[in-house]
């Protein structure tokens, strides 16, 4: 499998070791899952499917930022306990991911439960001389990380501008370098805190991912994933923490960043409020196989804009797919299986994979409209139970490959309550 790596700006082969390690940055649970989140998690769901199909064991870890400024601010605004807000949004996220048939991570780890391992890692960075105090807060010195900047390749001016936008504090007095990120934030009045050798407080953002990835995956991760908005400063800083603590590079072999989904001309974001929620679409009775197809019809490397028209098109598409796999027979499906595998292995070209299924569906429907729905004798299809790919076996093979490789269930939609 080949995938686009931000650090080298190139499509690279993933390491072909038997076990593939994926670390994907999870949500900050202060609001519901929107389609941008869903598109990001779909990227790694597909990566997992392709790797498993190729025979790899996949170890997939995702965090959840269940303590951070935006969560405390929202809880305060809405008069909620931050723990209740996080628990509610995490439960909704998990329902949304299940409804979209995302393969779950092997470990889904909250920051609160990970505080001991985070404290250990901060202590290591202190021991290595990579941390310093500003008042009672602890900062990481990027000067200790010679490779800092090698993932996102931004100019210093760009880094400074983006850092302010994405939770950094370059203007704070007393820092050695304005870009130095916070490792441990000393307790402020009214804020939750945990005890530590550096005083009561809570972790900075980036160290959570370094510590959780190291604890649950060990060694070098194959893919560090998230949206493009995480490449800087988040992934740059968490890789720097991990590399300095380990005294070895790299933290990840590939840094994979999913492009942004927008709505009304702007990146869909909780802070801006231009959102389409998975849960709203679910409540509206949306066909979730169609929703998944609508997301799949975009490359993970291209930004795109959500519109209701995309969903309508996907509904029409999935209806044709369902009609075709319900036929008693169809054209040989083994080439479709080969093409879908080949397209997905090529930097997760999901739209290319969908086009291959479309071609089979149209041929099957055209054949069914004619006289002879049969085909030549089947050939065996690796990994799909030795199912023959042609004639009467073909529709079942297509349904299975669409289910397994694309995660789209083509069972007829049953009316609610039955």
* Contact set with Zn ion (CB under 5 A): 25, 209
Q: Please, what is the angle between helix 288-296 and helix 350-369, to 10°? A: 120
Nearer to ligand 5CA, 63 or 334 (CB): 63
Nearer to ligand 5CA, 305 or 403 (CB): 305
Minimum distance, C-beta of residue 94 to Zn ion, in the bound complex (Å) = 18
Nearer to Zn ion, 28 or 381 (CB): 28
Residues 9 and 340: their CA atoms lie apart, in Å, by 25
Nearer to Zn ion, 25 or 182 (CB): 25
Strands (E), 259-334: 261-263, 266-267, 304-305
Minimum distance, C-beta of residue 260 to ligand 5CA, in the bound complex (Å) = 4
DSSP letter at 134?
E
Residues 145 and 241: their CA atoms lie apart, in Å, by 8
Residues 254 and 108: their CA atoms lie apart, in Å, by 21
Minimum distance, C-beta of residue 172 to Zn ion, in the bound complex (Å) = 22
Nearer to Zn ion, 25 or 345 (CB): 25
Minimum distance, C-beta of residue 180 to ligand 5CA, in the bound complex (Å) = 19
Tell me the residue number closest to Zn ion, measured at CB: 25
Q: Judging by DSSP bridges, how do beta strands 182-186 and 201-203 pair with one another?
A: antiparallel
**Contact of residue 26 among ligand 5CA, Zn ion, none (CB under 5-8 Å per partner type):** ligand 5CA
Residues 147 and 289: their CA atoms lie apart, in Å, by 43
Q: Rounded to 5 degrees, what angle do the CA atoms 123, 125, 131 make? A: 105
Minimum distance, C-beta of residue 298 to ligand 5CA, in the bound complex (Å) = 10
Nearer to ligand 5CA, 128 or 166 (CB): 166
3-state SS, 216-277, equals: HHCCCEEEEEEEHHHHHHHHHHHHHHHHHHHCCCCCEEEEEEECCEEECCEECCCCCCCCCE
Residue found under tokens 């990001």:
40
Nearer to ligand 5CA, 237 or 394 (CB): 237
Residues 203 and 86: their CA atoms lie apart, in Å, by 17
**Contact of residue 227 among ligand 5CA, Zn ion, none (CB under 5-8 Å per partner type):** ligand 5CA
Minimum distance, C-beta of residue 26 to ligand 5CA, in the bound complex (Å) = 6
Residue among 402, 342, 336 nearest 1 (CA) = 342
Nearer to ligand 5CA, 46 or 390 (CB): 46
- 345 with 1: CB under 8 angstroms? yes
Chain residues in the site for ligand 5CA (CB under 6 A): 25-28, 36-37, 39-40, 63, 65, 209, 226-227, 229-230, 258, 260-261, 267-269
Q: Rounded to 5 degrees, what angle do the CA atoms 336, 290, 404 make? A: 40
**Contact of residue 253 among Zn ion, ligand 5CA, none (CB under 5-8 Å per partner type):** none
Minimum distance, C-beta of residue 245 to ligand 5CA, in the bound complex (Å) = 18
Minimum distance, C-beta of residue 288 to ligand 5CA, in the bound complex (Å) = 19
**Contact of residue 250 among Zn ion, ligand 5CA, none (CB under 5-8 Å per partner type):** none
Q: How far is CA 389 from CA 79, 113, 327, 357, 380, in A?
A: 58, 48, 14, 14, 7
Minimum distance, C-beta of residue 174 to ligand 5CA, in the bound complex (Å) = 26
Residue found under tokens 């090529």:
346
Nearer to ligand 5CA, 126 or 260 (CB): 260
């Amino acid at each position: 499998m080949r995938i686009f790596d931000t650090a080298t700006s190139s499509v690279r082969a993933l390491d072909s070791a038997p076990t593939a390690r994926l670390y994907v940055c999870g949500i900050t649970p202060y609001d519901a899952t929107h389609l941008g989140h869903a598109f990001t998690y779909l990227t790694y769901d597909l990566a997992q499917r392709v790797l498993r199909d190729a025979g790899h064991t996949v170890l997939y870890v995702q965090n959840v930022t269940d303590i951070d400024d935006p969560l405390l601010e929202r809880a305060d605004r809405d008069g909620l306990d931050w723990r209740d807000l996080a628990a509610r949004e995490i439960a909704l996220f998990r329902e949304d991911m299940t409804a979209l048939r995302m393969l779950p991570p092997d470990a889904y780890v909250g920051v609160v439960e990970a505080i001991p391992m985070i404290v250990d890692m901060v202590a290591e960075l202190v021991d290595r001389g990579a941390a310093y105090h500003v008042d009672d807060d602890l900062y990481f010195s990027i000067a200790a990380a010679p490779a800092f900047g090698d993932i996102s390749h931004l100019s210093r001016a760009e880094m400074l501008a983006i850092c302010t936008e994405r939770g950094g504090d370059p203007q704070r007095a007393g820092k050695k370098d304005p870009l130095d990120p916070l490792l441990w934030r000393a307790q402020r009045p009214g804020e939750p805190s945990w005890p530590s050798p550096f005083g009561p407080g809570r972790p900075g953002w980036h160290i959570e991912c370094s510590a959780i990835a190291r604890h649950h995956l060990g060694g070098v991760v194959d893919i560090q994933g998230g949206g493009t908005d995480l490449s800087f400063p988040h992934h740059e800083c968490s890789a720097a923490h991990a590399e300095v603590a380990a005294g070895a590079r790299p933290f990840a072999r590939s840094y994979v960043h999913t492009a942004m989904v927008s709505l009304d001309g702007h990146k869909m974001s909780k802070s801006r409020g231009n959102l389409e929620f998975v849960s709203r679409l679910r409540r509206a009775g949306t066909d979730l196989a169609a929703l998944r197809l609508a997301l799949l019809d975009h490359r993970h490397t291209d930004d795109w804009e959500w519109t209701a028209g995309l969903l309508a098109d996907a509904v029409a598409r999935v209806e044709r797919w369902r009609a075709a796999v319900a036929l008693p027979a169809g054209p040989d499906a083994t080439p479709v299986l080969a093409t879908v595998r080949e397209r997905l292995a090529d930097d997760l070209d999901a739209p290319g994979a969908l086009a291959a299924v479309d071609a089979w569906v149209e041929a099957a429907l055209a054949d069914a409209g004619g006289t002879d729905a049969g085909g030549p004798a089947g050939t065996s299809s690796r990994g799909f139970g030795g199912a023959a790919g042609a004639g009467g076996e073909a529709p079942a093979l297509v349904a299975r490959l669409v289910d397994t490789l694309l995660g789209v269930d083509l069972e007829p939609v049953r009316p609610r309550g039955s």
